[in-house]
Amino acid sequence: MKTDLVLASGSKIRSYLLNQAGFKFITVKSTIDERNIDEINDSEYMAKILAFEKANEVSNRYKNNLIIGCDQILEFENNILHKVNSIEEAKQRIIEFNGKEHFLYSSIVLVKNNIKKWEIVKKTRLKMYKLTFEEIENYIGKIGIDIINSLACYQIENLGINLFEEIEGNIYDIMGFPLFELVKYLKKYNYSGLK
């Protein structure tokens, strides 16, 4: 089994998912400044560019390895939103999303020796229930400070699933890691998570 996979991400959830799928890999966080690409207003394109830039930067340091670059873009009312920095900001975001829809664009790009080998972007639509202020407060109280680790301020794999009236997409895409398509590609080229 090939073991030259490098996950160019500091995300604990992505590392957990890839590990749970049985793949052997190392994790190396990219050093690119994501905010330098803020002038792009196309969510899908931005997700691709950021995933590629992360993978490409790590590829400079890890020659002959297959680098997995990932990114996720949050779009709400035609605006791209970034991660929040506090519980209060998280609360405001959930209040903004309340009863409305937003979109997540989750991308993976594979790079080897600074050459793009494969890429995918998955778009997910999510619509929140119309929540009461008490429901929002209760939810944030249960999640605590971990809420700021999620781009959209919910943990869909846990209590966050209770916030949504409609979801078009799968849980891996919502978590920012289109795992099904990645595994399908890796198996095609003789990588395997089955040990």
What is the set of active-site residues?
A: 71
Per the CB < 8 A criterion, the answer to whether 83 and 148 are in contact is yes
Helix/strand/coil percentages in the chain, nearest 5? 40, 25, 35
Torsion of CA 25, 108, 52, 55, to 10 degrees: -10
Per the CB < 8 A criterion, the answer to whether 12 and 175 are in contact is no
Which contiguous run of DSSP H or E holds residue 103? strand 101-112
Burial class of residue 41, CB neighbours in 10 A (0-12, 13-18, 19+): exposed
DSSP 78: T
Structure-token pair, residue 122? 């998955």
Nearest alpha-carbon partner for 120 in 49, 169, 181: 181
Q: Strands (DSSP E) along 140-188, which ranges?
A: 164-168
